[in-house]
Each structure stands twice: as structure tokens, then as C-alpha cells.
Copies of this chain bind each other. A is one copy, B any other.
Amino acid sequence: MKIKCEKASFLHGLQAVAKAVSAKNTIYALSGILIIAESDELIFRATNIEMAIEYREKDVTIVEEGSLVVPGRYILEIAKKLPDESLELASEGYTFFIRYGDSEITVNGMDREEFPDLPEVEGEVRGVFPLFRFERDIREVIVAASADESRPLFTGVLFEIDGEEVNFVATDTHRLAMKKSSWLSKGETGKVSIIVPNKILQEIIRLEAEEDSVVEIVVGAKEISFFTADTLFVSRLIEGNFPNYHQVIPAEDRVKAVAEVDAVFLLATLERAFVLSKELVREHIGRVNIALINERLVVDSRSPEMGHIHEEIPVAQQGEDMALIFNARYLLDILRVIDSERIVMRFTGVNTPLLLGRPDDDNYIYLALPLKG
């Protein structure tokens, strides 16, 4: 293999696949990045037991085709520190060379045979999203997913696909987010429900979406693939049955009060209240009082040791007054990502869910349970 390219192209390729490099060294090859010089492209591939990422860089000159696996973490650290100039990348046997100016870096590589093949995802359920909208939908839903790996079902996002409709749902049992979305179906129009791991979605929502970028999705029996621009993501699906979430979402007639509030104001207020509530004993972390009284949202947080915070925000109120206790973190999480200047809060009672959403958008719901008084 022999390639000429700029440092930026090489580094970008390595960074694009880095998250699929296995951090564990149990299978040595999985800690590597496979580099393939083929026709007019330099292909970077990394894979671990959960997911694989493949990136194709076209801004290179392939002098001689070939492939080699290089140690992932190490090559990435080196590449970041390379000078911003033209590189010659080459391999001889299992040795990889990075040359620039009068300098040469030699890296001990390994045989491609040791490296797993990219899983081929085949299935009749497939479709296309505008990338920008997919990223927004997933960001606003994934905040409700759990970080607790011991309950894998709750760490993923449910995709309920029915023809052109795709419903995204995530819950950690304390809060739930749902977005009724849609795609351009390219395959069967039947119903299917899958649970997609958090990790692969986190990678996709980090991509820079240009105005006309799209993401093409293929749902396989046990895997899912996402393809966008130069990058292919493959992930296993989470097995199991997602809990019946419909019963958790309160019917419209149970809404007793509605407040519309400035999202930035509410976020800043809760962040201050959270500083104080963190000082409390561990079991009460994030405990804040939220009351809707007479066209004002009143936020209180109290620590016997440190002090007290009392804030009032003017709101547009409908319905009765209300006072609830919340884990501030559950509200902060959604306020930090929601793409809206104003937030609608819909109260159903002291011990029943608070619904958050955008004004004039029935397709998105974020729901959080109050704490017991």
C-alpha cells in the first residue's frame, strides 16, 4: 500500500471510526483500525462487539492498493500531533509507515485476516430521513434513556415503524420521551418495532448535518445500519420487549393546568436551584419545588446547611394552581437539548406526570414523574 494525502484527511478518517475501536484488549484486532487503499478511496474501519463504523475518504491519491490493521488508540494520538502537511502512508509486510519531510514514523501493524468482516445488514424494512431532522428527533428523545447497562432495554431508543411513520420512544422508568416522526419508506410497509442502542445513535447525532444530508436506514433481523455521506454505521439491536409505554402517557382530559414559559429562563433558574440541591444528602439529589401560582412559576430549593433559593418566572397560565416536587435533573436534561424558545408545561396532578413540549407541536412529548412529597 502507498497513499499520498494531507494530514487532515488521514486524521479525519481515523476520528470518524474511533468510537468503534474497542477499549478492551481481549480481542487484540478489535483495538485496531483497518485501513484499506482501494481504487480511489482510503477506507477506515473499526468494529467492536456492539457496533462497526466505516468511513471512506476520497481526498487521497492511491499509488498502490493494499490494507493493514493499525493500533487504533495509538495511531489516533500520533495523527493528532502530525504537522499540517502532505503525508505519505505506506505499508511493507505488517509495518505501517507515516512519512513527512525528512521524518518517518514506523508503526507495528497486524494482518487484516485477524480483523472481523463488516456485518452485512439486509432487510426489507428500509427508509430515509433528512439527517438534520433525524438528529433533532433523536436528541430530544434519547435524553430519557437510561445509562444503567444492567437494564439494557432502557438504554436504547424504540423505533416503532409503520409504513411512512416512525415513532421514537425512550424511557428510564422515571421519565419518558416520545416523538412521532416519519421517513421516506424504501421497502416493505409493514409494522416493526426495534430497540436501537444509545451508543450508535450518540455517534450519529454528533455528525454535522448539511442542509440536504440524509441518513439511509436498513433494519435487519438482529442489526441495523445507518448510511450517511461517507460513513456507514452498523449496530446490533437490543433484544427484548419494550415496556408498554402507552399507559404512562396521561389522556388529554387529565391535564389540570398549563403553563407556557421561556425555555432559557427556566433552564437558568433550574441550574441555580440544582447547585443548592446537590448539596443535600445523596438521596435527595436535585430535589426542587415547582409551583404554578397566579401566572408565575415559583421554583424553590432548600438545604438546611447551605441556604435557600427562591425564584419566580412569569408564565402564561391556564387552569388551576399546582405545587410539585421534582428531581431538577430530569427537567434540566430536556431543557438543555430541546430545540424551542418556549416550553409548554402540562400539569396532571401532584403525584402524576408533568408533560413538557413545544407550543403547537403535538408530535413531541417529554414526561417526568414528580417525587413524593
- A98: nearest residue on chain B (CB-CB)? B309
A81 to B328: give the CA distance in the assembly, Å: 15
With contacts A74-B279, A279-B74 known, is A82 near B272, CB below 8 A? Answer: yes
| Residue in B74, B77, B306 whose CB lies within 8 Å of A107 | B306
**B contact residues around A106 at 8 Å (CB):** 307-310
A307 to B68: give the CA distance in the assembly, Å: 15
A272 to B310: give the CA distance in the assembly, Å: 53
**B contact residues around A108 at 8 Å (CB):** 305-307
A contact residues vs B (CB 8 Å cutoff): 71, 74, 77-78, 81-83, 95-96, 101-108, 268-269, 271-272, 275-276, 279, 296, 305-312
**B contact residues around A102 at 8 Å (CB):** 296, 311-312
**B contact residues around A312 at 8 Å (CB):** 101-103
Given contacts A71-B306, A101-B312, A108-B306, 8 further A-B contacts (CB under 8 A): A81-B268, A83-B268, A96-B307, A102-B312, A104-B310, A105-B310, A106-B307, A107-B307
Across the interface, do B275 and A103 meet the contact criterion of CB distance under 8 Å? no
- A304: nearest residue on chain B (CB-CB)? B108
A305 to B106: give the CA distance in the assembly, Å: 11
Across the interface, do A306 and B276 meet the contact criterion of CB distance under 8 Å? no
Across the interface, do B81 and A272 meet the contact criterion of CB distance under 8 Å? yes
Across the interface, do B308 and A275 meet the contact criterion of CB distance under 8 Å? no
A107 to B74: give the CA distance in the assembly, Å: 49
Residue of A78, A83, A307 with highest tally of chain B CB at under 10 A: A307
**B contact residues around A310 at 8 Å (CB):** 103-106
**B contact residues around A96 at 8 Å (CB):** 307
A309 to B100: give the CA distance in the assembly, Å: 12
Across the interface, do B271 and A74 meet the contact criterion of CB distance under 8 Å? no
A310 to B271: give the CA distance in the assembly, Å: 51
Across the interface, do A271 and B103 meet the contact criterion of CB distance under 8 Å? no
A104 to B269: give the CA distance in the assembly, Å: 11
A81 to B272: give the CA distance in the assembly, Å: 6
**B contact residues around A307 at 8 Å (CB):** 95-96, 105-108
With contacts A103-B310, A103-B312, A309-B106 known, is A78 near B279, CB below 8 A? Answer: no
Across the interface, do B81 and A306 meet the contact criterion of CB distance under 8 Å? no
**B contact residues around A105 at 8 Å (CB):** 272, 276, 307-310
